[in-house]
Structure 1
Amino acid sequence: MSSMFKEDPVFKATPESIGSLVASIHKGTIAIPDFQRSFVWDPKRTVELLKSIISRYPAGTLLTWEQSTSVKFGSRPFEGAPDPQKEPKRLVLDGQQRLTALYQALTGSGDYQFFMKVWPFIDRGQGALLNLEDVDLDSALLAYDLNGRMRFNPLDEEWQISKGVFPVAAYERLRPWFKKLARSVEEDRDAADQLEEVLNQFRDTYLQPLESYAFPVVDLPASTSLVAVCNIFETLNKSGKVLGPFELLTAKYYPTGVHLRDMWDTACQQYPLLVDFAVDPYSVLQAISLRSRGSAQRFDVLNRLDASSVGEHWNATVAAFADVLDMLKRECGVISAQWLPYSMTVVPMAAVYPEVAQLRSQYRALARERLRQYYWCTVFTENFDQGANSQAGADYKLLRGWVVGDSQEAPEAVSEFNLTDYDLLSARANRKALFRGFVTLLIQSGAKDFLTAQAITNLDPAGFILDGARIFPKAWLDLSGNNPDGHSSELILNRLMIDKSLRRLIKDRPFGEFVAAQEEFDRQKYVDVLSSHLVDDGEESGLERLDYNLFLQERLTLLVEQIEAVTGQSLIYESEG
């Protein structure tokens, strides 16, 4: 009688290096089954994965399935990879997002390209490489959309040398670049040679894992049944609870009598806005770390924030979070978590707010005004798109003195506000923070609901579902010829926040055509509501004439006025003529 424990497992596990996996993706010997979803990671997740690889931390296992030569299974290449010349040998069942992210980052394909700063890894004073625990990885890795509009070219070598930044995709051919960099910062030949040697050590120490790091790969044999594959795939894709820094610190502080989980439950009962806005309790710890350590970096929160500081600042900080969220909801149009452009922006604001709450009324009003100005400037400069933890730390140092102290030096988003009208004219709705800022600005300015003509702020968010409908639909623009300048239909300026039920009535018509078809009473109501959404519906307006280009310019003018009002800054005009 044979024992079930003597049977061979249905899989085998072997380590495979990133270099080998990237080469296999490029050659098409491994591919993705057709039933897998598309690549959905945003660049921030790719940056986090690169940080784990560089740190040599575990980044999970991969699951592949060997393909039979007799039975073909539908597949496609990884996004960014060339079309394969022959059938793949293996399909990836689990790990597609990680492998696609690594392939695009290491080959320079995809919508974003990734860059790394050299100097966070080097002690310039000692002329030596820093240990990993002393490296600020949060600020060392960057992502740029090369199809977007930028005021510099990150692929320009002179710019790279001046900033000490190189493309991650160039990690295998950096020696000549290191030589140029060393000679650009060190006039003395011996000092330049020494720096060049340190830079090469940096490559061998911190970039080598981009080639040699090995994922454990569980490979299902070709004989594995389709039923078994489906069961395994469904099991792998069931969500589980993530063990995050808040959970780790909960365990760390428990013996000291600081019971974070109980404290958080109490805070949520006391301040319902924390629940309404789905505040991550780790954000509260980041704000406390700013107050006690001046840093929101994960390393500092996990290793330098002590239980006594948490106990000292907890009550004031959770109250500050609720106060800041209440201010954003009542005075900045952020009616729900869905429309908060950056959750991280709340962290430095909440870290400052306990001092604001203690000010006398006339000074508190000025402090709140400056907090709102900081919020709007941060949103419209998209300042938290990169390195949010580092940005929060830098902002807090200046925000505290500017809001509650005597300093006239404002945070970067305020002092270096550089938004142009062309930025707004060309911005698409997939720029999430900017789009949410646009929506909340409309709400803050008094935007009304098209069905009830009531201010959106007076409606119950639970029963009112905002939907970003296109004022001029794409299909109509493509057929009408009323878009001679070829503006995209996906522009933020072409979006109107309406209830989903109204969108079903409009269907695929331009909104101006829909309004013109209404009875006089409803038509007048819509005209009034349109004005509250910064849309001109006069007789010669772009909306009335179904002229998309004129409509965009009219709405841009109205939007610029509102942005300048809330930010206290003047925009740069580039689109005229």
Structure 2
Amino acid sequence: MTIERIMSSMFKADPVFKASPESIGSLIEAIHNGAIALPDFQRSFVWDPKRTVELLKSIISRYPAGTLLTWEQSSNVKFGSRPFEGAPVAEQDTERLVLDGQQRLTALYQALTGTGDYHFFMRVWPFIDRASGSLLSLEDVDLDIALMAYDLTGRMRFDPLNEDWQIANGVFPISTYDRLRPWFKKLARSVETDSVAADHLEEVLNQFRDTYLQPLESYSFPVVDLPAKTSLVAVCNIFETLNKSGKVLGPFELLTAKFYPTGVHLRDLWDTACQQYPLIVDFGVDPYNVLQAISLRSRGSAQRFDVLNRLNASGVREHWDATVAAFADVLDMLKRECGVISAQWLPYSMVVVPMAAVYPEVAQLRPQYRAPARERLRQYYWCTVFTENFDQGANSQAGADYKLLREWVIGSSQDAPEAVSEFNVTDYDLLNARANKKALFRGFVTLLIQSGAKDFLTAQAITNLDQKGFILDGARFFPKVWLDTSSNNPDGHSSDLILNRLMIDKSLRRAIKDRPFGEYVAAQEEFDRRKYSDVLSSHLVDDGEGSGLERSDYNLFLQERLTLLVEQIEEVTGQSLIYESEG
């Protein structure tokens, strides 16, 4: 194929979207009659009046004020929508939904139609040179004193809607920008007693309208308009690309709009779920993860394309309640039985998805069968954490795991999920793992907590402490400054190894500073040595005579702790590690 034919075929292809300018006047009219509306997942109008004033100043100055993103609606598929705040209920079918630009368009609609709690006003005199009776150029206009906003719901010393007050102060409501001729006539004759001078001032006022108020109707925004056939996946990607700094439009928001006309109100369902299950709030569960779990149960996939395009309202109706309850049950199990005391220490939020998708069947088992099923779920969790199976392709991994996990946990299948059946963790991996491997580090911390790690100050189990007052923080047994001296670290091990990490209260970390932990403790007379040894043991540390900690031997310390850690991992995973380290 020649380059000419390739180029020709490229330019004949249907565009992904079209971009064109649209005037404020046409946009306001479309908002008013309902041709343009908001998807019901969009947040409410939140701008304060100062931001609206700044936008009006940009419009009057003809400065760029950003682009808008809209999405055409087809007659076959309708998304839940609502009118802009202050606009009447639509009398016609919505033609387009605004995905990006709600705040700007709402601000302009309310300012130019006189709706909302705040009304916006403009002084004419900052635009006119009273001495020469001529219109000032924009560079000479102080827009900061020319525009103002009044809250008409509050108590005021004057009524800004009173025409006599307006004439006396040369102030008019911006909402009357398109019908000011009679007002200008009254203003000119109230200021100038001579008819010729009054006529001249009236002409200058009309010039002011044509120069500075005309943009309030003719100013055009570049509008990116997505065609109706644009897929939900593409809408997500496009919105995220164009709206990096704004509110993220995710699959949950899109499905909220998609299912709304069917009577499935996802936002209401989610609010109810958060009220019923506080753990969901405490762990910051993303409602989209719930939909992914439902998609696993109904469609066998957690991929975004499948959730957006194949999950239907009936599937949500059927599985929502059980799946939401399952999320709470799984999180409770992880918190009570796996050391995940808070969202901060959950290695992968995605690992909860396949577990929650399976759990409704676990909950229905008889007690004698439920206990071993929960044990397998815990085994799956620990194996997943230490194999780091969700570091890449978490959605695909969740789908693959669910198919095996369900039958392995509640059925008779011996085919375990990949993390269990292909467990290939080596002691060398653990020895050299650094704390920046977040999931593995969190797994290490929660394993310590699950194994009974105690607080160094109170000698109480961390799980028994008030988590609001106790701030778990990571310190180093052997700090970097100390290890940077070659004599203290002849083998050159990094100071940031997971095995060098000590989980203590934040206040204690500040007290230790850059000293080796053993040296700090030795200087503390109030430390009970027997309790201290017991607490260290709970953190998988040997402090006996000749130990690496006691001798300040970093390499020996790492090997000793590695041995204890491997024992714990093998216990919770039910698997044997591969031994590769040189010892």
TM-score (norm 2): 0.59
CA distance in 1, matches of 2:469, 2:281: 18
Q: 1:349 to 1:12 in 2, by over 3 A?
A: closer
Structure 1 residues not aligned, in runs of 5+: 14-57, 61-131, 137-212, 218-235
Q: How does 1:174-193 map to 2 (within 5 A)?
A: none
What secondary structure does 2:429 align onto? helix
What secondary structure does 1:344 align onto? coil
**How far does the alpha carbon of each residue in 1:258-280 deviate from its partner, in whole angstroms, 9 at most, with x for none?**
11111111111111000000000
Structure 1 residue 312: Cα displacement: 0.5
Structure 1 residue 522: Cα displacement: 2.9
CA distance in 2, matches of 1:538, 1:511: 15
1:565 aligned to which of 561, 571, 577: 571
Structure 1 residue 515: Cα displacement: 1.6
Q: How does 1:547-558 map to 2 (within 5 A)?
A: 547-558=553-564
Task: Provide the residue aligned with 2:370 in structure 1.
Answer: 364
Q: 1:270 to 1:7 in 2, by over 3 A?
A: closer
Q: Kindly indicate whether the alpha-carbon contact (under 8 Å) linking 2:380 and 2:417 is maintained by their aligned counterparts in 1.
A: yes
Task: Provide the residue aligned with 1:430 in structure 2.
Answer: 436
User: In structure 1, what residue type is equivalent to 2:426?
Assistant: T
Moved more, 247-256 or 420-429: 247-256
Task: Provide the residue aligned with 2:477 in structure 1.
Answer: 471
What secondary structure does 2:264 align onto? coil
**How far does the alpha carbon of each residue in 1:263-309 deviate from its partner, in whole angstroms, 9 at most, with x for none?**
11111111100000000001000000000000000011011000011
Q: 1:305 to 1:4 in 2, by over 3 A?
A: closer
Structure 1 residue 59: Cα displacement: 13
Q: Kindly indicate whether the alpha-carbon contact (under 8 Å) linking 1:293 and 1:305 is maintained by their aligned counterparts in 2.
A: yes
What secondary structure does 1:496 align onto? strand
CA distance in 2, matches of 1:329, 1:4: 52
CA distance in 2, matches of 1:344, 1:216: 23
Q: 1:5 to 1:248 in 2, by over 3 A?
A: closer
CA distance in 2, matches of 1:316, 1:344: 18
Task: Provide the residue aligned with 1:518 in structure 2.
Answer: 524
Task: Provide the residue aligned with 1:402 in structure 2.
Answer: 408
Task: Provide the residue aligned with 2:355 in structure 1.
Answer: 349
Structure 1 residue 460: Cα displacement: 1.6
Q: 1:504 to 1:266 in 2, by over 3 A?
A: same
Larger radius of gyration: 2
Structure 1 residue 516: Cα displacement: 1.8
Q: 1:7 to 1:467 in 2, by over 3 A?
A: closer
CA distance in 1, matches of 2:61, 2:516: 66
What secondary structure does 2:350 align onto? helix
Task: Provide the residue aligned with 2:315 in structure 1.
Answer: 309
**How far does the alpha carbon of each residue in 1:499-549 deviate from its partner, in whole angstroms, 9 at most, with x for none?**
011112111110011122222743332221111000111011100100000
CA distance in 1, matches of 2:384, 2:60: 62
CA distance in 1, matches of 2:406, 2:487: 53
2:248 aligned to which of 242, 257, 267: 242
User: In structure 2, what residue type is equivalent to 1:378?
Assistant: T
**How far does the alpha carbon of each residue in 1:406-465 deviate from its partner, in whole angstroms, 9 at most, with x for none?**
100000000000000000000000000000000000000000011111000111211111
Q: 1:7 to 1:514 in 2, by over 3 A?
A: closer
Q: How does 1:477-556 map to 2 (within 5 A)?
A: 477-479=483-485, 481-519=487-525, 521-556=527-562
CA distance in 2, matches of 1:327, 1:298: 27
CA distance in 2, matches of 1:393, 1:372: 18
Task: Provide the residue aligned with 1:258 in structure 2.
Answer: 264
Q: Kindly indicate whether the alpha-carbon contact (under 8 Å) linking 2:58 and 2:65 is maintained by their aligned counterparts in 1.
A: no
Q: How does 1:79-118 map to 2 (within 5 A)?
A: none
CA distance in 1, matches of 2:418, 2:529: 45
Identity percentage of aligned residues = 85
Q: 1:5 to 1:259 in 2, by over 3 A?
A: closer
CA distance in 2, matches of 1:7, 1:314: 51
Equivalent residue pairs, number: 364
Structure 2 residues not aligned, in runs of 5+: 1-56, 68-98, 102-229
Q: 1:59 to 1:548 in 2, by over 3 A?
A: farther
